[in-house]
């Protein structure tokens, strides 16, 4: 990696810019200024007093001194008494980067790329590299850092979407602004759809995503698997999103979401009676369950009452008015008033697709 060598400057090299200003002598009883604490820490480090140096740098970093925070990152990454603490290194590098330290931008990006001290994340690495690459400066040292960031960006993959195929369709996974990510379900709902969902969720957790949005684009499919996935949405507190069409079993998944968001003018939710086909063959003749006492209708009714206690019965009754061979499409304000969706957004927030 191009970033490996550039982060671990010598500790003393960071003191040059700090000693350019005359030292400030604090008034009696006043705390030393962060820049003075930094210089004292560098001197302690030069004298082999690492514990004292860490104490002084911590005081300065907590007062907002970015170079001190960067040096703490270096110390914890290199190790204290031979013990490395990459999580602590990442914490201080992030502290320094947020305070504007450009070396820390590279360090943070490197840790995200390698998954050291933080979950591996191309999105986070690209974020810090892009911030650094956009810096405009006549300073030769800064220009060198900018060039390293630009070179690293050129080596990174252009597309960070991961595909998981299942029988009838696919999932797409993409990291967004941390700790968010989007899981996109495209295709028919089958038994394999619910089986593979666990793999995608595990991928999200590995990437540090704790609050995924579930974007849905499906004509429907298996009632039982739609309900199984909808219950998982409800149980885990996932938010569901529709930007195009989500019908039948897909609508049941959508209504399990904590937040249920329609994005853009094309977003629509389709309801109808449950039905069955011979051997689940999508080309075979569909037979509708038009009554309220068959197993499929009772299962759907119980589920809707479970995830939407106030609106579930009315939504179920509405679905029973439309044959399984037709579709009752619900959009925009109508979906909000029915309690099917909780809010609408513009197309600017649409989930990723390809």
Does 180 share its domain with 151? no
Q: Which of 142-151, 201-210, 227-236 has the lowest mean pLDDT?
A: 201-210
Same domain, residue pair 150 and 171: no
Q: Is residue 354 part of a domain?
A: no
pLDDT in tens, 199-208: 999 988 877 7
pLDDT (average), residues 140-152: 91
CA distances (Å), origin 337, targets 234, 257, 333, 350: 20, 16, 6, 22
The pLDDT of residue 65: 95
Do both 87 and 200 map to the same domain? Answer: no
Whether residue 133 is predicted with pLDDT greater than 70 in this model: the reply is: yes
Which of 134, 155, 176 is the endpoint of a domain? 155
Whichever domain contains 333, its CATH number is 3.90.226.10
- Residue 223 has a pLDDT of 95
What pLDDT band is residue 246 in, cutting at 50, 70 and 90? Answer: very high
The predicted pLDDT at position 349 comes to: 44
Q: Are residues 184 and 321 in the same domain?
A: yes
Band of pLDDT at residue 30, cut at 50, 70 and 90: very low
175 and 147 both lie in a single domain: no
More confident residue, 96 or 34: 96
Residue 142 lies in a domain: yes
Asked if 140 and 198 sit in the same domain, the reply is no
pLDDT confidence of residue 279:
65
Tell which wins on pLDDT, 306 or 211. Answer: 306
Tens digit of each residue's pLDDT (9 = 90 or more) over 161-179: 788 999 999 999 987 655 6
- Residue ending a domain, choose from 155, 186, 219: 155
The larger pLDDT score, comparing residue 294 to residue 210, is at: 294
The CATH number of whichever domain residue 52 belongs to comes to 1.25.40.10
Could you give the number of structural domains in the chain? 2
User: Do 132 and 175 reside in the same domain of the chain?
Assistant: no
pLDDT of residue 151 exceeding 90: no
Average pLDDT taken over every residue of the chain: 85
Instruction: Using the 3D structure, point to which of 155, 172, 189 is the last residue of a domain.
Output: 155
How sure is the predictor about 60, in pLDDT bands with cuts at 50, 70 and 90?
very high
Range of the domain at 90: 3-155
Q: Please report whether residue 130 resides in a domain.
A: yes
pLDDT at 6 over 80: no
Predicted local confidence at residue 160, as pLDDT: 66
pLDDT band at 294 (very low <50, low <70, confident <90, very high): confident
Query: Same domain, yes or no, for 75 and 188?
Result: no
pLDDT (mean) for 101-109: 95
pLDDT for 15 equals: 37
Asked if the model's pLDDT at residue 312 lies above 50, the reply is yes
Does 28 score more than 60 pLDDT?
Answer: no
Whole-prediction pTM: 0.58
Q: With pLDDT > 70 as the criterion, what percentage of the chain qualifies?
A: 85
Q: Indicate if 150 and 169 belong to the same structural domain.
A: no
Q: Could you tell me if 93 and 150 lie in one domain?
A: yes
More confident residue, 244 or 347: 244
pLDDT of residue 287: 85
Q: Is residue 104 one of the residues assigned to a domain?
A: yes
Residues 169 and 35 in one domain: no
Do 99 and 239 share a domain, yes or no? no
- Top pLDDT among 226 and 18 is at 226
> Per residue, what are the HEC states of the chain?
CCHHHHHCCCHHHHHCCCCCCCCCCCCCCCCCCHHHHHHHHHHHHHCCCHHHHHHHHHHHHHCCCHHHHHHHHHHHHHCECCECCHHHHHHHHHHHHHCCCHHHHHHHHHHHHHCCCCCCCHHHHHHHHHHHHCCCCCCHHHHHHHHHHHHHHHHCCCCCCEEEEECCEEEEEEECCCCCEEEEEEECECHHHHHHHHHHHHHHHHCCCCCCEEEEEECCECHHHHHHHHHHHHHHCCEEEEEEEEECHHHHHHCCCCCEEEECCCCEEEECCCEEEHHHCCCCCEEECCCCCCHHHHHHHHHHHHHCCCCHHHHHHHHCCCCCCCCEEECHHHHHHHCCCCEEECHHHCCCCC
């Amino acid at each position: 990696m191009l970033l490996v060598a550039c982060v671990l400057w010598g500790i003393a090299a960071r003191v040059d810019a700090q000693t350019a200003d005359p030292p400030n002598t604090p008034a009696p009883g006043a705390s030393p200024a962060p820049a003075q604490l930094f210089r004292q820490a560098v001197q302690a480090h030069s004298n082999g007093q690492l514990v004292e140096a860490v104490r002084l740098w911590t005081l300065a970093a907590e007062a907002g001194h970015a170079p001190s925070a960067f040096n703490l990152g270096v110390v914890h990454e290199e190790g204290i008494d031979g013990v490395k603490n990459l999580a602590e290194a990442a914490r201080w590098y992030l502290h320094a980067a947020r305070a504007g330290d450009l070396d820390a931008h590279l360090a943070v990006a490197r840790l995200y790329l390698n998954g050291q001290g933080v979950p591996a994340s191309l999105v986070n690495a690209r974020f810090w590299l892009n911030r650094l690459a956009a810096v405009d400066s006549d300073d030769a040292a800064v220009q060198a850092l900018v060039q390293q960031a630009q070179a690293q960006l050129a080596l990174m993959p252009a597309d960070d979407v991961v595909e998981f195929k299942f029988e009838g369709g696919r999932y797409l996974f993409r990291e967004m602004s941390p700790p968010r990510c989007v899981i996109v379900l495209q295709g028919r709902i089958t038994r394999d759809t619910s089986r593979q969902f666990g793999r995608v969720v595990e991928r999200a957790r590995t990437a540090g995503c704790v609050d995924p949005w579930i974007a849905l684009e499906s004509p429907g499919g298996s009632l039982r698997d739609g309900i199984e996935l909808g219950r998982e949405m409800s149980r885990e507190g996932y938010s569901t999103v529709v930007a195009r069409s989500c019908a039948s079993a897909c609508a049941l998944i959508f209504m399990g979401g904590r937040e249920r968001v329609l994005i853009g003018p094309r977003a629509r939710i389709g309801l109808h009676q449950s039905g069955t086909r011979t051997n689940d063959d999508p080309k075979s003749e569909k037979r509708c369950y038009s009554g309220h006492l068959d197993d499929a209708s009772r299962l759907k009714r119980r589920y809707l009452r479970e995830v939407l206690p106030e609106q579930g019965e009315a939504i179920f009754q509405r679905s029973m008015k439309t044959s399984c061979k037709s579709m009752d499409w619900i959009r925009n304000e109508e979906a909000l008033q029915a309690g099917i969706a909780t809010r609408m957004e513009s197309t600017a927030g649409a989930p990723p697709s390809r």
